[in-house]
Chain A
Amino acid sequence: MELTTGERGNAGTGERGKAQRGNAGARERARLLRELRRIVGPQHVLVDPADIIVYEQDGSILQAMPDIVVLPVSVQEVGAVVRAARAADVPIVPRGSGTGLAGGAVPAAGGVIVSLARLDRLLEVDPRGRTATVEPGVINLDVTKGVAPRGLFYAPDPSSQAACSVGGNLANNSGGPHTLAYGVTTNHALGVEVVLHDGAPLWLGGPVPDTPGYDLCGVFVGSEGTLGIAVRGIVRLMRARESVRTLLAVFDRMDDATRVVVDITAAGIVPAALEMMDQTTIEAVERGAPAGFPRDAEAVLLVEVEGLREYTGRSLREIEEICRRAAAREVRIAQSDAERAALWKGRKGAFGALGTLAPNYYVMDGVVPRSRLPETMRKVSEIGRTFAVRIANVFHAGDGNLHPNILFDMRIPGELDRVIEAGAAILRACVDAGGSLTGEHGIGLEKRGYMSWVFTEADLDAMARVRRAFDPAGGFNPGKVFPSPPACGEPRRAPAKIPAGLWV
């Protein structure tokens, strides 16, 4: 395969930045490009608009053009790329598979996107110590596939696990349906090797669970690319369970379903996963890639229990009873692996399937205490009515992590503004109920304006100081997480697509 090595590219967005910076900027840029090509080879430095425009987006509705995209293949190359970009004083935006939902991989201030897609090896598996050493671009599901023959699995399982990278998971401290029982990414990351602003790699944490001193691995996980670039990780593996059973409960009223969630956990049962989908989501799934969910139900719960056969059998019976007491119309226990897989395929494809209902969706990631679920869901549907928007709910009910998806069509003028207001109202409601802005998607670009709802000036300042300790110049992923706009320039946006309101 042949890739353009550059010259054709200056007609693109690089031009805009260049014009602002003048001739000195142009010389600087040429030098940076020369340097980057020397480091990773010319074919792994992209500047042609037809090569880089696809990197302006991730899984969210935000867009901003990078100036350059680089694809290093080793820790050394990542280090050298970071040094070159820092010397040229341009922003560095790490990127895995670009499946994030909060704009974390969108280069808000332009600059260099460092794609870790070529660093995609499962380096080492220690079946006795139950750990795996991975590169950041390795696909989440490939870790589990790689260790499954040894009876192990990697627990954090975002819905995008077939495509998302472990590096991205580390950056966002990603969760997934099964984090109810097993915890989120930070609970499974023992150590992470990070390239810092000076290009030097450094191990935070290590191969054993208890590294003395500050838990810097814990600090790094969830830092959304603002502290450095993860180039290797050591993750915990778990033993596959003897028995895995899945139950689908169908409800005519959302209220009954949310109450069941509270009742199941109140009864002391900890399912491996406890997921909810509402009628609108079911409609989307059944239109896109049918999985056999009843289209006329107001809500369904997908409950999974894992463990010894005796335990799963008993828990399933208890859960079934709780569901029936709460007026479940139907309780269906999957009888085969194929049936289980079909239910989960429907659930995991639910986000993508929303495309069958509307061209765009804006997904919220609010969290509320489980006990406040019923009233919060009522509030969400009230907000939908107030703002006249259609909302599809599919979420990790077990940990109170909501995903109301507001469906809309970006091409209709004014619609996005209303959608964003509705989203803000939903998050406000979550915060008011004692919850939080994000369960697993991260703050990214999208929610940075809301940080002050949950944090005081002093809180934010403390976080900013942590960030400066790692990255004094703020060159890594500027414009993310913190409410203040990026220092190094105005965020560019696709004018046809994003109204000013989004860049709060």
Chain B
Amino acid sequence: MGLPVLQIPELDQCVHCGLCLTQCPTYRVTRLETESPRGRIHLVRAAAEGRIAPTERFAEHIYLCLMCRACETACPSGVKYGRIAEAAREVLGAPGSRLSRALVGLAFTRLFPHLGRLRFLFSMLRAYQRSGLRVLARLLPKRLREMEALLPPVPDRFFTPQAEVLPAIGPRRARVAFLSGCVMPLLFGEINEATVRVLRRNGCDVLIPSDQGCCAALNVHNGETVAAKAMARRNIDTFLGAGVDAVIVNAAGCGATMKEYGHLFKGEPYAEKAAAFSALVKDAAEFLADLGLVGQLGRLEMTVTYQDPCHLVHGQKVRAQPRRLLAAIPGLTLVEMDAADRCCGSAGIYNITHPEMSQTLLEEKMAAIARTKAPAVVAPNPGCMLQLRSGAQRSGGVTVYHLMDLLDRAYQLGEARP
């Protein structure tokens, strides 16, 4: 007895040539074909045909995948691996123990769809981090203690836009909407502010609709589609109604998910509207590079290396644009690292669900960064930034920036100089 729901057309496109193997981070580490894209596709196909049961072991293989989609870049047939894996995860349900499943499920359905609750939780977290209570964390069991240590410090200020529309600085060139995100405004409020400033300096009216929500990327990647669709619909309705030229995102994972809303609603009447929305979604780097930077950029004497966020380079095929923007900053030197487009191990909640694999990949990444001798790394995605910062904390050295950070600084320097 098979699982016909897994018989998705993407499976038939894979001719198991194996070219994806060496691009897959988990295959590189384990050297096991079950931990390769071709292997996982074969597993899903076998389960669809009823040749194997979707056992716990099967689920472990599916969930060890980072969903970095490097295989999609490597695949000569253009197999959409992500869709295959998402379909399998939808059948399997969330990973882990019953408790962690319940917690993850709760987060997906009760937390992320309600940004107010998330904000409240993070302000509690901030209070906890500022208080002396943190010493008590030492009493936690090892696993929980490690997770506690992964928590980034919550900054003093959250991103709270002054108005729903912030006007262009200089001649108006476009009217865009901005997705402020779920975690971004809480942990990286300054990057959101920087992004908005850079957009405005480039002649964009920036709308920040207050009734927008989380993009549901984590839900989709983990096979949770019920809440995901409700969240997507809210964003689609909000942003499509705003009448803008583009919807700008500065988090790669969110951008990739929103560009695929059309697929999320496949076969439903809502699909057309979703696809229309997806067509508007642009990563901030993609949009700015295509628009062309204007205004005075000051000199930023620094050497950086660039980490391609997976969901930007593999998920959205945005590779050249961020590099073009870096090259536009006077004084800045970009030194490429080995395998800049290989996952750093962050991968959404992966560093929490699979700490060992995540750490192995992070160590490789930090070593690649160190070889460039650049004192800074640019990674335009919050997940990558958190992961690289935790790596930098341990190995010392590099500073982690978002691309919008650096552009904003360069503009400020340019402004200071008459």
Instruction: Indicate whether A132 reaches chain B with its CB closer than 8 angstroms.
Output: no
Instruction: Indicate whether B61 reaches chain A with its CB closer than 8 angstroms.
Output: yes
Closest to B36 in A: A54
Which of A46, A115, A355, A496 is the one whose CB lies under 8 Å from B13?
A355
Complex contact B78–A356 (CB within 8 A): yes
Complex contact A354–B31 (CB within 8 A): no
Complex contact B39–A139 (CB within 8 A): no
Which residues 125-158 in B have Cβ within 8 Å of A in the complex? none
Q: In angstroms, how far is the closest chain A Cβ from the Cβ of B181?
A: 31
Instruction: Indicate whether B313 reaches chain A with its CB closer than 8 angstroms.
Output: no
Complex contact A359–B13 (CB within 8 A): yes
**Which residues does chain B contribute within 8 Å of A351, judged by CB atoms?**
15, 17, 76
Complex contact A163–B18 (CB within 8 A): yes
Which residues 379-434 in A have Cβ within 8 Å of B in the complex? 409
Q: In angstroms, how far is the closest chain B Cβ from the Cβ of A12?
A: 8
Which of B57, B77, B79 is the one whose CB lies under 8 Å from A51?
B57
**Which residues does chain B contribute within 8 Å of A348, judged by CB atoms?**
76
Instruction: Indicate whether B38 reaches chain A with its CB closer than 8 angstroms.
Output: yes
Complex contact A289–B78 (CB within 8 A): yes
Known: A57-B16, A59-B16. A349 touches B76 (CB 8 A): yes
Which of A12, A48, A50, A352 is the one whose CB lies under 8 Å from B77?
A352
Instruction: Indicate whether B14 reaches chain A with its CB closer than 8 angstroms.
Output: yes
**Which residues does chain A contribute within 8 Å of B18, judged by CB atoms?**
58-59, 97-99, 160, 163-164
Which of A57, A58, A352, A354 is the one whose CB lies under 8 Å from B75?
A352
Which residues 277-292 in A have Cβ within 8 Å of B in the complex? 285, 287-289
Which of B31, B60, B76 is the one whose CB lies under 8 Å from A353?
B76
Q: In angstroms, how far is the closest chain B Cβ from the Cβ of A21?
A: 23
Which of A57, A59, A288, A350 is the one whose CB lies under 8 Å from B42?
A57
**Once the chains are docked, how many angstroms separate the CA of A71 from the CA of B32?**
9
**Once the chains are docked, how many angstroms separate the CA of A360 from the CA of B15?**
6
**Once the chains are docked, how many angstroms separate the CA of A71 from the CA of B18?**
18
**Which residues does chain A contribute within 8 Å of B357, judged by CB atoms?**
1
Which residues 326-368 in A have Cβ within 8 Å of B in the complex? 348-356, 359-361
**Once the chains are docked, how many angstroms separate the CA of A71 from the CA of B357?**
19
Instruction: Indicate whether B364 reaches chain A with its CB closer than 8 angstroms.
Output: no
A-contacting 9-mer, from B45-53, B298-306, B386-394: B45-53
**Once the chains are docked, how many angstroms separate the CA of A414 from the CA of B208?**
59
Q: In angstroms, how far is the closest chain B Cβ from the Cβ of A39?
A: 17
Closest to A355 in B: B77
Instruction: Indicate whether A120 reaches chain B with its CB closer than 8 angstroms.
Output: yes
Which residues 49-98 in B have Cβ within 8 Å of A in the complex? 49, 51-52, 55, 57-58, 60-61, 64, 74-79
Instruction: Indicate whether A117 reaches chain B with its CB closer than 8 angstroms.
Output: yes
Complex contact B74–A118 (CB within 8 A): no
**Once the chains are docked, how many angstroms separate the CA of A246 from the CA of B32?**
37
Instruction: Indicate whether A162 reaches chain B with its CB closer than 8 angstroms.
Output: yes
**Which residues does chain A contribute within 8 Å of B21, judged by CB atoms?**
97, 99, 163
Interface string of B202-216 (1 = CB under 8 A from A): 000000000000000
Complex contact A120–B31 (CB within 8 A): yes
**Once the chains are docked, how many angstroms separate the CA of A285 from the CA of B75?**
11
**Once the chains are docked, how many angstroms separate the CA of A359 from the CA of B19?**
17
Instruction: Indicate whether A487 reaches chain B with its CB closer than 8 angstroms.
Output: no
Which of B31, B39, B74 is the one whose CB lies under 8 Å from A137?
B31
Complex contact B52–A354 (CB within 8 A): no
Closest to A497 in B: B49
Q: In angstroms, how far is the closest chain B Cβ from the Cβ of A160?
A: 6
Instruction: Indicate whether B12 reaches chain A with its CB closer than 8 angstroms.
Output: yes
Q: In angstroms, how far is the closest chain B Cβ from the Cβ of A178?
A: 18
Complex contact B19–A162 (CB within 8 A): yes
Complex contact A288–B77 (CB within 8 A): yes
**Once the chains are docked, how many angstroms separate the CA of A289 from the CA of B79?**
10
**Once the chains are docked, how many angstroms separate the CA of A493 from the CA of B60?**
26
Closest to B57 in A: A50
Q: In angstroms, how far is the closest chain A Cβ from the Cβ of B10?
A: 10
**Once the chains are docked, how many angstroms separate the CA of A57 from the CA of B13?**
16
Which residues 16-36 in B have Cβ within 8 Å of A in the complex? 16-23, 30-34, 36
**Once the chains are docked, how many angstroms separate the CA of A8 from the CA of B57?**
9
**Which residues does chain B contribute within 8 Å of A1, judged by CB atoms?**
30, 64, 356-357
Which residues 55-91 in A have Cβ within 8 Å of B in the complex? 55, 57-59, 71
Instruction: Indicate whether B43 reaches chain A with its CB closer than 8 angstroms.
Output: yes
Complex contact B78–A53 (CB within 8 A): no
**Which residues does chain A contribute within 8 Å of B42, judged by CB atoms?**
53-54, 57
Complex contact A59–B34 (CB within 8 A): no
Interface string of A137-154 (1 = CB under 8 A from B): 101010000000000000
Instruction: Indicate whether A4 reaches chain B with its CB closer than 8 angstroms.
Output: yes
Known: A71-B31, A359-B13. A139 touches B76 (CB 8 A): no
**Which residues does chain B contribute within 8 Å of A454, judged by CB atoms?**
none
**Which residues does chain B contribute within 8 Å of A94, judged by CB atoms?**
none
Which of B15, B34, B356 is the one whose CB lies under 8 Å from A54?
B34
**Which residues does chain B contribute within 8 Å of A285, judged by CB atoms?**
76
Complex contact A163–B58 (CB within 8 A): no
Which of B46, B61, B75, B76 is the one whose CB lies under 8 Å from A350?
B76
**Which residues does chain A contribute within 8 Å of B33, judged by CB atoms?**
54-55, 98, 115, 117
**Once the chains are docked, how many angstroms separate the CA of A79 from the CA of B136?**
53
| CB pairs A–B below 8 angstroms (12 shown) | A46-B32, A48-B55, A51-B57, A51-B61, A160-B17, A163-B19, A288-B77, A349-B19, A354-B15, A355-B78, A356-B13, A361-B15
Top 8 A-B residue pairs of the complex, sorted by shortest distance between their CB atoms: A349-B76, A352-B76, A355-B77, A54-B39, A359-B12, A117-B31, A99-B18, A50-B57
Residues of B within 8 A of A (CB): 12-23, 30-34, 36, 38-39, 42-43, 46, 49, 51-52, 55, 57-58, 60-61, 64, 74-79, 356-357
